[in-house]
Amino acid sequence: MESCVHIYCGDGKGKTTAAIGLAVRASGCNKKVLIARFLKTDHSGEVLALHSLSGITVMPCERSFGFFTNMTEEQKKEAGIYYSELLDAVLKKAAEESFDLLVLDEIMAVCNYGLVDEDKVLRFLTDRPEKLEVVLTGRNPSSRLVDQADYVSEIKKRKHPYDRGVNARRGIEY
């Protein structure tokens, strides 16, 4: 069976939710799943649930740097080092430990912000283990990532409570 690359992108809510849904489905079929989250800590509700499912490994994201637009240049540099090291560890683990599915949540953002090297992600996608399915999430994937993907699903926002001033709610948005 050929493995594929999925992109869940767009400005709507549900990119991570779709990726986590696929991870849960894979786990239910006795597949081995690795999930890495960028720009998000592990204080989100799905992370607690994922730890209870067999076959799913969530790489810890132990540092938060806040919104990119609010970071100082020093924080951006520090975040770039941190996320580049996290990406290296994740890609190494995915290649060496026979995972069936890899989810790189918010990878597009860290690529777009220059916090990780998109070329490294592209090389990994090209050279990944034969059976490894990969999911990339985030806004505004580059044309090179889109070209590399087999599935591209765009989630478009038509309406969102945030537009009315409603902040993210635990258990719904995180």
Answer yes or no: is 123 within a domain.
yes
Question: pTM (2 decimals)?
Answer: 0.93
- List strand residue ranges (DSSP E) for the chain, in order: 5-9, 33-37, 56-59, 101-105, 133-137, 151-154
- Residues 6+ away with beta carbon under 8 Å from 88: 120
pLDDT confidence of residue 45: 82
CATH at residue 64: 3.40.50.300
Answer yes or no: is 85 within a domain.
yes
* Identity of the residue numbered 103: V
User: What whole-number distance in Å separates Cα of residue 77 and Cα of residue 80?
Assistant: 5
Domain that holds residue 59: 7-140+148-157
Q: How many structural domains does the chain have?
A: 1
Answer yes or no: is 86 within a domain.
yes
pLDDT confidence of residue 104: 98
Answer yes or no: is 169 within a domain.
no
The residue ranges of the chain whose pLDDT is under 70 are: 1
Answer yes or no: is 2 within a domain.
no
